[in-house]
Structure 1
Amino acid sequence: MTVLNITNLTKRFGKFKALDGIDLKLQPGEIFGFIGPNGAGKSTTLQIILGVLTPSSGNIEIFGKDALTEVVTIHEHLAFVPGDVNLWPNLTGGEVIDFFLSLHKHANYAKKERLIEQFDLDISKKCGTYSKGNRQKVALIAALSIDAELYIFDEPTSGLDPLMEDVFQSCIKEIKANNGTVLLSSHILSEVEKLCDRVAIIRKGKIIENGTLAELRHLTRMNFIVETSHNLHDLPNIAGVHNIQQSGSRYSFDVDSNKLTPLIQYLSQFTLTYLESKPPTLEDLFRRHYGDTIEEGE
């Protein structure tokens, strides 16, 4: 049975069309990445899935049930983490976690204790003293302590340091190993690449790419920054190298992920004083593949 089935989902706010005919399907045991620039429609879609917003048109089924009319039954089998976590400032982190778990039929308190240790959270402190990262940890621990069939995460690692991002990713892999299903909304492509079986890219309320990571590999290029006293005059002739910019001894450029070997072979001829490589942001990808700039607020 399909875990989530969205058909021709549309949402209007007055004259503004936030979602324009979205179709998505999630299968059991699948980690699905839902990605796009901020304001593209990710959170609106998730709020409709959760029953917070009503769609203008379209259908959503979760576990084969109508998401609009059987919200309570559906929520017994899912867990959710928002991107912007607001907590009661006078309650401790532990009190908030226990309160959230008391509301769910499938709370796993043994798992909760393990997650508190893994995320290194001091649950004795009041939430009003927490940083954004610690507030995010509270929400993650509460959600991951539920034995759910579907987990929905909206920018879940916002505010987390790299070590805690690794903990979150290991938790997602554990969910998959137990045949759980995850819908992960993010604008961090590298995070999605590490975790997801399939991805959908949304822009201006429309799905513009949908498929496995292998199918979307054409969207990924690495960004390189190199410093050397040598003149890299043959760099434009290296296969897969794009968008070269030079400032003195510093070169910045992009390279197709499947063309790294020729580039490394070329650079190995020279003495480099600095080398940095990083994956592209989604904003970079959209500019590169769709030919215009990301609009303000998108």
Structure 2
Amino acid sequence: MTLAIETVNLTKTFGSRQALRGVDLAIPTGSVFGVIGPNGSGKSTTMRILLDIVRPTSGSATVLGRSPREGGIGLRRRIGYLPGELILEGRVTGRALLTHYASISGPVSPSRVADLAERLGLDLTLPVRSLSKGNKQKLGIIQAFMHDPHVLVLDEPTSGLDPLVQQIFLDLVREARESGQTVFLSSHVLSEIEQVADEVAILREGRVVTTSTVERLREVAQRRVRASILEATPGEVTAHLNTIPGLNGLTVATAPDGTLSLTGTLEGEPDAFVKALAALHVHDVSIEMPNLEDAVLQLYSESDAEIAASGITTTPSAQEATR
């Protein structure tokens, strides 16, 4: 497997604050890799190291087989970057600004710029200073994608975009993957990562908590379950369901109409829960699909030992992935 991005024991210290604490990432070429974490977890710092905007205190990073420091201009022209805090020159039009960026990034087809602007709904004749936050973000997306880079590093790329444009952006990410480009993106919108990422790393306090596929994270996420039961007492329902493996936080309450309202969370497959309910008089039942947000929030709050016990299998380390 060829890696587009690799970091090994990457650390970064700003004064007395340690922003990164031994980050290992192995991102295959032609994949979409998502990174999730609260503010201050190290997402942006990792991305800036890949662009040689900041340099690591220790450890190493490579992009397309080159270190960011040694790769220089030639390497940076092969990368499309959208920073989390986008600052644009406001005294020119969007088209003039993109022309300036094209002179830095390398050849850009005018038809490519026009196509991206049309899909995103952006008028490039307007001065940048007159654009809303969302339209400035669209301009940033265009400059990252327009030269069809080998690697896209996108930090909170949908900030300020409305839901329709967010979906258009996700289409662009999928198209980039289909063309063999590698996409490394961070987001606080977990549904975005869930829709497009092949793998996801969860960062907490400068460390990678786990790296896993989206599917595996969903498997360990808990499902929320609800049911309305007739012709039974709370004690009978509780005694009947308490033996179900993975059913947690079970509460049974009597509603004003006499029915029993059951709520809880369920780990793993719902088969045993459904079979147990079949022995009761069920008026209504709801079993939610597990999602990435549930899994991530659970991991944010767990200790390392609890994470290891959860059964999440991590992807190979950067060193193992190349063997």
TM > 0.5 fold call: yes
CA distance in 1, matches of 2:47, 2:67: 15
CA distance in 1, matches of 2:84, 2:268: 30
Structure 1 segment 10-159 matched on structure 2, within 5 A: 10-159=11-160
Deviations 1:57-85 (A, max 9, x none): 11112222122222212102110111222
Q: CA deviation at 1:134?
A: 1.2
CA distance in 2, matches of 1:65, 1:218: 36
Q: CA deviation at 1:213?
A: 2.3
CA distance in 2, matches of 1:174, 1:232: 55
* Structure 1 letter corresponding to 2:189: I
Q: CA deviation at 1:122?
A: 2.2
Change (3 A) 1:172 1:287: closer
Change (3 A) 1:183 1:5: same
Contact in 2 for aligned 1:240/1:259 (Cα 8 Å): no
Partner of 1:285: 298
CA distance in 1, matches of 2:28, 2:44: 21
Q: CA deviation at 1:261?
A: 10
Contact in 1 for aligned 2:34/2:199 (Cα 8 Å): yes
Mean CA deviation greater in 118-127 or 20-29: 118-127
Q: CA deviation at 1:253?
A: 5.7
Contact in 1 for aligned 2:228/2:284 (Cα 8 Å): yes
Q: CA deviation at 1:255?
A: 4.7
Structure 1 segment 265-284 matched on structure 2, within 5 A: 269-270=282-283, 279=291, 280=293, 284=297
Deviations 1:113-154 (A, max 9, x none): 111111111223222232221111110012111111101111
* Structure 1 letter corresponding to 2:270: K
* Structure 1 letter corresponding to 2:141: L
Partner of 2:320: none
Change (3 A) 1:243 1:165: farther
Change (3 A) 1:146 1:285: farther
Change (3 A) 1:99 1:283: same
Classify the secondary structure of the residue corresponding to 2:73: helix
Classify the secondary structure of the residue corresponding to 1:214: helix
CA distance in 1, matches of 2:297, 2:186: 18
Contact in 2 for aligned 1:3/1:27 (Cα 8 Å): yes
Structure 1 segment 189-200 matched on structure 2, within 5 A: 189-200=190-201
TM-score by structure 2 length?
0.75
Change (3 A) 1:92 1:214: same
Q: CA deviation at 1:206?
A: 0.7
Q: CA deviation at 1:47?
A: 0.7
Alignment equivalent of 1:259, drawn from 264, 270, 287:
270
CA distance in 2, matches of 1:21, 1:28: 22
CA distance in 1, matches of 2:154, 2:233: 44
CA distance in 2, matches of 1:89, 1:246: 59
Mean CA deviation greater in 64-73 or 156-165: 64-73
Classify the secondary structure of the residue corresponding to 2:61: strand
Partner of 1:295: none
Change (3 A) 1:282 1:221: closer
Mean CA deviation greater in 229-238 or 59-68: 229-238
Classify the secondary structure of the residue corresponding to 2:153: strand
Structure 2 regions of 5+ residues with no counterpart? 256-260, 305-323
Structure 1 regions of 5+ residues with no counterpart? 292-298
What CA RMSD, in Å, does the superposition of the two structures yield over aligned residues? 3.5
Change (3 A) 1:287 1:22: closer
TM-score by structure 1 length?
0.81
Contact in 1 for aligned 2:91/2:128 (Cα 8 Å): yes
% identical aligned pairs: 29
Q: CA deviation at 1:48?
A: 0.8
Deviations 1:192-215 (A, max 9, x none): 121111111111111110122233
Q: CA deviation at 1:283?
A: 6.5
Change (3 A) 1:256 1:139: farther
Change (3 A) 1:103 1:243: farther
Change (3 A) 1:165 1:260: farther
- Structure 1 position 168 matched with structure 2 position 169: yes
CA distance in 1, matches of 2:114, 2:233: 55
* Structure 1 letter corresponding to 2:299: F
CA distance in 2, matches of 1:106, 1:281: 43
Q: CA deviation at 1:258?
A: 4.2
Larger Rg: 1 or 2? Answer: 2
CA distance in 2, matches of 1:175, 1:232: 57
